[in-house]
Structure 1
Amino acid sequence: MKLLAHDVDAHEMIPSTRLGDYFGQPGRIMGALFEATDRLRPDPTDTNMHVEADDVMEIDSDSIWKVKGPKAPSAIDLNRRVEVLDAMGIEKQLVFPTTAIAAMMVGGMTDFGFEQRFGGDTSMLEGLSRPEFSKMFLRAYNDWAIENANLADGRIRLVGIIPTSDDVNDMIGEIKRLIDGGVKGVYLQADVPPGGVSPAHSVMDPLWRLLEENNVTATLHIGTEFFFLDPRWTFAETFQDLFQSPEIPNTNIGMFATCHMAIDNYLNALVLGGVFERFPRLRLGLFEVGGHWVGPAARRMDMYCEVFPGSAAAKYPMKPSEYVARNVRVSPFNFEPVHRYIQDDPNLVDVFCYSTDYPHVEGTKDSMNKMLAKVEPLGEEITAKFFRTNAEWLLP
């Protein structure tokens, strides 16, 4: 491929044995949690966070496209990431956390969910409650994101985390701190109403305005769906075939097949609630929950505006699907038939973006060539949109 791509979803993957070096006390605690999880259900795969690893692997075409997990080049040392991007043919990359997602889950899960995913042992929390630990870790992670906010002159962009609070001013305050520190993207929780209200409520407008005015991208990502769906929905004998993901350890097919639902619901509130009408330059990325649902969601919202012509949403100057096309970008999984989604909904051709998910195993091996084989038959313009120009909206 001749053009340089952009990557809208990649990660750090600092292993449990090194977390204390980077995040202090909360890092040590999270490392012990990963160790306990590995004892509960030993993970022999590259997703295992409880490994001894140093960032020393040579950067070459085999290591960057085939090696996954904490041993992959620059999984730990982001100062090496620009070499990985150059080898991959990628210009800019959004870098999401790995462990901070897990820490947010630990703080927000029900006791049943925590036992299901992490084993239930809290002895390593050093007297902290799970929410207290989560808050401490997320603060340390955001500090680290600020310290690394301007790597490679903006080519590598770390995403800060904004946990949901009952007081939207708490969320706004942390966004301001991240913006002042140079962070260009924030990760919002999708599972519970922010500030105790709909994302479309006027009390949230200062938050959306802050992001819009500063050209900071809002994102929703897998890993924050634990309040949206009760984990008991997959508590059955037939759901005991577990597999490992850094964001959602000890998961199963039922959890993965529904991980988009919280984000679909959040997008529904934003679009039908008029947020993109009030904030036309608000940038939103939806990551690692698939792309299969996006076209049906856009068509569904269009349909209900016709069914309910007296609703506020039906009176906006644009259709819901048009707001999605203008304001929203989505990275499909690299095993999905994204070419079919584009063919089925050509009005959403500007929505879909390439991502590596590097160095997570869900990104699949040799993902760029796999996705190129799917979209290249659609023509040069669509190929350029998918690999580069669509993502420019999220990387101002």
Structure 2
Amino acid sequence: MAYAEGRIFNDADSHIMETRDWLIAHADPDIRPKLHPLAIGSGGRMVEKAIAHADQRHRDPAAVADAEKNLMLRKGWEALGAFDPDERRRALDLLGFSSQLVFTTFAITHFWGEFDQVRATPEVLYGGTRAHNRAIADFCRGDKRLLGVGFVPLDIPELAEKEIDEAIKLGCAAIHIPSLPPAKKSPSHPDFNGVWARLQDADVPFMLHIGGGGRAIPRAFHNNDRPVTDFLGGGENIRSKDFMTIHVMPEIFLSTMVLDGIFEQFPRLRGGCIEQGAMW
């Protein structure tokens, strides 16, 4: 008996818990040494231990049975199908879901975000983008239930258009676009008309997702000299205080798109806002 029965269930927010070389293996050879190390928060050795346990169960039928029995309890890298596509298909069988949007969790930290003092060069930014979309498409290939979500930053419109085209060819079912505005332009700027036109014409929705809006609040608010723990043994990458503000950037992004007439200009353009809080 599946976990979910009696109707159609579509999972709007599943994730891959990446290993350190998950994205790098899909990057062009000249880009690999330029990508930043995977930023996996404060999990540290506990992450490596969880990955090792998940790898070991392939050789232990009893461990597989235990993972399936505890499907709803095992989280993070210990979860069934956390980073193994064959396990993910089995997890979907057990869950009974008809489809599942699949996002990455930490992969974009290799090349995008406030994780670096210096903004990534166009070569690294879009080389990493290409590697990300290859990796997510490869993970989801072979099962129509797995709907891979690509990632494309808008910093350089012509390169963004190129990578959207490539992501769609790879089979990405949606494109995660940062809600943090690119450089000094609004997402409603005419320079991005080619982005919205491509997504509209391909009937591929854009997605806004937690992590794409930059740092929710200044780091200082977390510096309170009090312990913060989670199931990985360290501080959450998104903590309770962040949840008070994560709705702000996607709200501004979507309001800008509405007020500046983008959905009138591109009436078949679709989008989703995932895991961003319900304050608004």
> Which band: TM-score by shorter chain?
0.7 to 0.9
2:79 corresponds to which residue?
72
5 Å-filtered alignment, 1:14-93, equals 14-16=18-20, 25=32, 30-31=37-38, 34=40, 38=42, 48=47, 51-52=51-52, 53-54=54-55, 56=58, 58=64, 62-93=69-100
Structure 1, residues 209-241: CA drift from partner, whole Å, max 9, x if none?
1111111121011112226x5624625426x54
Contact preservation (8 Å) 1:30, 1:103: yes
**Where do 5+ consecutive residues of structure 1 fail to align?**
112-128, 295-396
Specify the alignment match of 1:138 in structure 2.
Answer: 129
How far off its partner does 1:244 sit? 5.5
Structure 1 distance, partners of 2:140, 2:91, is: 18
- The 2-side partners of 1:70 and 1:270 are apart by 36
- Residue 191 of structure 1 corresponds to which residue in structure 2? 180
Number of the residue aligned with 1:151:
142
Give yes or no for the alignment of 1:270 onto 2:260.
no
**Which residues in structure 2 correspond to 1:335-354 (within 5 Å)?**
none
Q: Which AA in structure 1 matches 2:114?
A: G
Matched, 1:293 2:279: yes
Cα distance between partner residues in 1 of 2:110 and 2:236: 12
| Larger proportion of helix | 1
Q: Distance in 2 between matches of 1:245 and 1:212?
A: 40
Q: Equivalent residue of 1:65, what SS?
A: coil
Shift of 1:8: 1.1
Query: 1:253/1:87 Cα in 2 relative to 1: closer, same or farther (>3 Å)?
Result: same
**Which has more radius of gyration?**
1
For 2:214 and 2:242, locate their aligned partners in 1 and report how far apart those are by CA, in whole Å: 10
Q: Deviations over 1:122-153 (max 9, x none)?
A: xxxxxxx772566544332222234345431x
Structure 1 counterpart of 2:10, which letter?
H
Shift of the alpha carbon at 1:72? 1.5
1:252 alignment partner, one of 215, 234, 239: 239
Name the SS for the 2:101 alignment partner. Answer: strand
Which residue in the other structure is 2:164 paired with? 175
**Of 173-182 and 142-151, the range deviating more from structure 2:** 142-151
- In 1, Cα distance between equivalents of 2:203 and 2:167: 13
> How many Å separate the matches in 2 of 1:204 and 1:221?
19
How far off its partner does 1:80 sit? 2.9
Query: Could you tell me how far apart the structure 2 residues matched to 1:3 and 1:207 are?
Result: 35
TM-score norm. by structure 2 comes to: 0.77
In the TM superposition, residue 159 of structure 1 has moved relative to its aligned partner by 0.9
1:68 Cα deviation from its structure 2 partner: 0.6
Q: Measure, in 1, the Cα distance between the counterparts of 2:92 and 2:248.
A: 32
2:200 to 209, 212, 219: 212
Which structure 2 segments of 5+ residues have no match? Answer: none
Q: Any idea what SS the aligned residue of 1:286 has?
A: strand
Identity of aligned residues (%): 26
SS in 2 for 1:211: helix
Would you say the 8 A contact 2:23–2:107 is kept in 1?
no
